[in-house]
Structures are given as C-alpha cells and as structure tokens.
Structure 1
C-alpha cells in the first residue's frame, strides 16, 4: 500500500493517475501538514468517487489545527473533533490524528474521546472511519509502550519514521515495531520515502509506506509574487513519475514475497 500525502488539486490528481493506493489529504506540507479546507475535502471526494458514488480511492483526512507540538488546549481538541465530523460527513474513508501530554506520552483521554466520537459517527453513516495515529508518535519517549497504547485505543495504523526524522534512518526501530505489532496494528512508514530509500525501508518488514512524492517545481515564480510574500522562493509539487515508480516498486515487492 502506497499512501501519498497531498495538499492541493494537482496532488490529488497526480496521486490518482500515478497509482497511489490511498491519499492523506492535508494542507501546509512544509510544516508537516495541517487540516485542509472544506473546499479541498469536497474536491477530493469528487475526484476519487467511483461509479456508485463511494470513493474508489480511500482518502484520509489529517486533523491538525496548527503547526508545532501536539499538546492541545480544550478549544483545539474541540476543533479536531469537528474535523473528524467533517471527514465523516464528507464520506472520507479515515482520519489521521494524534495528541501528546506534557511528558511526551500519548494523551490517552483525549485520543480515547476522539476515537469514541469517530466510531459514533461511523456507526451513524453506516461504515467506520479508519483510524491512523500520526507522527506525534515519533516524539514519544517510549515507542514500544506507545505502540501498545495505540493498540489498546483501537487505532488501525501508526504513521511513523521510527522515532527519527527520516524513515530510512529508523529502519531498525520500524522493524522492531512491526514485529511487536504482530498483526494487531499496521506500521505505516513515512518521512523521506523515495525510490532511493524504499528498498531499505521495506526490509524492515513494513507493507505500507507514506510519501509526499514531491519534487522542486520547475515553474518560474513571478518576482512580484515573491516580493509581496505571496509565494515561496522554492516550492515543491507532487510528481507523477515518483508516485508511479513507488507504486510499481511496492507492487514488485509484493510479488516477490
């Protein structure tokens, strides 16, 4: 399974045509991703809808209200709960959430409340929301203990780079987490996943990877836009060839097993 994280219409279309197995929908990938706007959510639903109206390609919503850490105030917790409702009512397949307490442990009461909320919304609509614990997990002081907590909470998968900034440098921990998971929860390897790093990451035993598949944009930026601060000097876009290469490498790995 190749999950591609995208932040705009181009990314959605590129993930679809390139052969992604799932989309994580977000905004502001430059800061690790934030909750996307409702208009982009509707666009993703429309782009991925099958003939019956049910999404042919699963889309998971990242619910993260701001950049920075993952200790959330009550008002921020309410915002994330509202994002979960938005995902359910839009017909998305899943949500991506995470929260920590001040001691760098998973915030179990907050996560349990969000999961109960997600389950109730899934029951109301007739099919469940898939639950992914995002890379707040990587900031936990004890990753194996955090994995057990995620299992107990009922998460379906954990997005992780193995407790280091890039997954290729966390292969040993990814392998350990995959073995500890023992089929109870999926380890989704992410951060710095590329055609060059994928073979080493797959040796950890993981079967799901998460990648932005972005390359530097070749489109020249208007100098006036730069001068006014309306555009960044360097920007990246989702690359179809990268999505395609990763998807084919994942498919080839599956047939070799």
Structure 2
C-alpha cells in the first residue's frame, strides 16, 4: 500500500515530501475540488524528490469537457511532461456519466511515457465494473475511487470487489475523506494505495479591506500526514508479517 498526498501550494508540497509521501498529487484550488496547477508549482514539484502527478482539470464544475476544455487539457499535459513530472491525473465524463473514452484516449496519448491516474469521475459512472474494464482498455495506470461512496471507508466493500476484478491489471487507490483510522479497512480491501489531503481549515491572514475573501482555506497539516504515514507503514508491516506466516 502506497501513500499519496494531494497538495495545492508550495507549503503543502514541502510538507508532503518531508512527511514520507510515496507519491504526491499536485493541483490548484483544492477548495474547488482540485484544478490544474501552475507551471511554476509544477517546476518546483519536479525537484521535491518524490514522484509527482499533476491534476489535469481546466475548470471547476462537472467532468464534461468541451472541445476548448480538451484543447487546454492537452496543452497542460505537455506542460507536465516539460516540467519533468511523473504522471497526470485525468477524468472526463459523458453526459450519462460513463467515461468519455475518446477524450481520455487523446489525453493518454499526450501523456505517453508517464503514469496516468483516473480521478473520481469514476465514482459518477453508472456501472463501476464496466468503467474499470474501459480504464484497463485505455491503458490507465490506476483508478482513484471511493467505491461509489461519499467516503472511501464507506465504500470499502466495493473497493475490495474492484481489486478482485482488477486482478493486477490496474491499480486501485482509495480516495475520499481518507483518515488514518480508516487504513485497516483499506488494508483488508487490499487496495494499492490511499490518497488524502491531510489538510485543515486555517484563517486567511492579512488585511482584507472591502474584498470578499473567504475566511479560511484548507492547508496541509504535518501532524495529519504523520498519522497517516504511520498507519500505512503499520499496514505494510502487518501485511508482510501475515504473508510470511502463510508461507
């Protein structure tokens, strides 16, 4: 089981790298559901010492892409490759919720040579089993999912079923409200990774004047990363012990 931490600023990037993340998802505007990060943040991330995958999502809202949205996304994927990052996180839906295989294929082609994660657009698909097979056929590296639940811990049974169906052809990563206390359930489901923001709401500092600025924003928390890192390490150790016992 690997630990992926999602961050949206330079501070979070440094904390995730120092806190023992196996992989980092880099984005902008976590409060809006995660958007494509800036080129400057991508370049900083390339030197952090941890594999970094960039979110490719040109706007907030639904996962339906117009032709212009897709054009922007393809340019952003090229920027990810130019920055030297290890992968991209993508997701495009059709109006009925099924994966938009054509749009995804174009993005995957643009990302040739780096890893591709399918984000939680998977959780709005009407048929999880069919969506998994579509992702395998497209050549996706991993699926981030809460098992079609609001929180991944509540979808643990569905995650386990997806792991069985995947049969090593594609990785399954639990994402959605993940906390350290949930890790044993994910270990039992045998997921390949867990994904979490490990953030807390903190007040916005500085003068505001008449500008309408949100009173707080999510910021990465080192203590939450440490707790999740410890839980994942314990799950790894326990899994190795059980494997040795069964030999």
Instruction: Identify the TM-score tier after normalising by the shorter chain.
Output: over 0.9
Give the TM-score normalised by the residue count of structure 1: 0.89
Q: 1:158·1:188 contact (CA, 8 Å) conserved in 2?
A: yes
Q: 1:181 to 1:82 in 2, by over 3 A?
A: same
Q: 1:2·1:208 contact (CA, 8 Å) conserved in 2?
A: yes
Q: Kindly tell me the number of residue pairs found equivalent between the two proteins.
A: 238
Q: 2:163·2:172 contact (CA, 8 Å) conserved in 1?
A: yes
Identify the residue that residue 139 of structure 1 maps to in structure 2: 124
| 3-state SS in 1 of match to 2:194 | strand
| 3-state SS in 1 of match to 2:181 | coil
Q: Which runs of 5 or more structure 2 residues have no equivalent in the other structure? A: 240-247
Q: 1:5·1:26 contact (CA, 8 Å) conserved in 2?
A: yes
Q: Which runs of 5 or more structure 1 residues have no equivalent in the other structure? A: 49-55, 120-127
Q: How does 1:92-241 map to 2 (within 5 A)?
A: 92-119=85-112, 128-217=113-202, 221-222=205-206, 224-225=207-208, 227-230=210-213, 232-241=214-223
Q: 1:63·1:97 contact (CA, 8 Å) conserved in 2?
A: yes
Q: How does 1:44-123 map to 2 (within 5 A)?
A: 44-46=45-47, 48=48, 56-119=49-112
Identify the residue that residue 244 of structure 2 maps to in structure 1: none
Q: RMSD of aligned C-alpha atoms?
A: 1.4
Give the TM-score normalised by the residue count of structure 2: 0.92
Identify the residue that residue 53 of structure 1 maps to in structure 2: none
Q: Does 1:6 align with 2:7?
A: yes
Deviation digits for residues 131-154 of structure 1, max 9, x if unmatched? 101111110000110000000000
Q: 1:7·1:26 contact (CA, 8 Å) conserved in 2?
A: yes
Deviation digits for residues 215-248 of structure 1, max 9, x if unmatched? 232x5644x4275123x21322111111122112
Q: Distance in 1 between matches of 2:205 and 2:85?
A: 34
Q: Distance in 1 between matches of 2:14 and 2:179?
A: 19
| 3-state SS in 2 of match to 1:5 | strand
Q: Distance in 2 between matches of 1:235 and 1:63?
A: 21
Q: 1:226·1:233 contact (CA, 8 Å) conserved in 2?
A: no
Over 3 Å off, 4+ runs: 219-222
| 3-state SS in 1 of match to 2:180 | coil
Deviation digits for residues 148-202 of structure 1, max 9, x if unmatched? 0000000010011111221111111111111111100000110101112222233
